[in-house]
Structure 1
Amino acid sequence: MEMSHLASKLQALGLRLPEDFIVHMVLLSLPPQFGQFKVSYNCQKEKWTLNELISHCVEEEERLKHDRIESAHLATTPKSKKRKTAKEIAVDHASIKKQKKHKEGKSSCFFCKDEGHMKKDCTKYHAWREKKGLPKLSDAN
């Protein structure tokens, strides 16, 4: 409709555009949802006038509206969600603290969890390996 209005304004100024050109421009300006409509127009032998194109576009738009599936997304939260106890909160807080220490570069032993040394230097780890009869770390490599 807008292009038809623009074409009539141009005609009033003395510039007459061929109707086939206007129909072509209208078809190019249609949104992607009209893809099937464009294909069916291009496959037929007869060409439409601007008024015929407008009426067919209105029909196609109504068909698209009718075919559109309306949907709604529902989001819920569980009603039985229990609150954390003070002990659970403390455990979470302690694990966050450990993660922060690890990120800050303060290393701790993976075996005894003490800070300041690594597992390979841990006296408790070496004693445990000796008790199990495992070879010393320097011998294992």
Structure 2
Amino acid sequence: MLDYDLAIRQDEPAAITEQSNREQKAAYDRWEKANRLSLMLVKNTIHLSIRGAILDSDKVKEYLKSVEDHFKGSSKALASNLMLQMLTLKYDGSSGVREHIMKMTDMANKLKSLEMEVSDNFLVHFIMTSLPARFDTFKVNYNAMKDKWSTSDLISMCVQEEEHLKLAQPESIHLTTTANSKKRKGRSGNSGNKNANKVPKTNPGAVASSSNPLSDKLHCKFCRANGHTQKNCPKFKEWLAKKGIPNNPEATKGPKKA
């Protein structure tokens, strides 16, 4: 940043007077320029809605102290959120296991800056519990070891294990696909045999109509039904009996409508 942080690292030098020499004047000018530019950079990185709540100052160190005092109360809430994230974070496989471990390591470093120390051994166990079930064998092997890993050792070992699982996955997929295809073939073969052994059921009505195909052409003019003529119609005979009309087998015409 071209020594723009000079005003943050060093205190303001004594003001220039008539007795100041050339070196003192150059040092003050360098500090004043760094203070002015660094203050501009700090203010431009703060959102306008937040900048108005911070006490203004023409010295960058005093302005940063106001920013610190303004957000000091939220450090406890930030620590609680980080702890909750570490407890609930699980590796879902969408990103690499290296990125997952580095993300949890970053959370631990932020907690350290908030005066909540997280030891390396505790962090390693935290990361182990966040790994999915396919790392169970890897976890068992680690628990059986006497040596303790650092986070850098854990990253390298987890990356190797993930690569090994990826190489073994296509073989298991192939075996599963082959087994499923065999099952489907067996089911299709059995269903074909069952269909072959089945005897089609016969419809008695269909057999009767096929044995007497002329019955489909008969039509009764009295009851408007098919399969018989008017002279053989039971309803027509019943109607004749009610009217007292002798049953004439040759009658083919229906009753006259009133």
What TM-score does the superposition give when structure 1 sets the normalisation length?
A: 0.50
Relative contact order higher in (CA < 8 Å, ≥ 6 apart): 1
TM-score (norm 2): 0.29
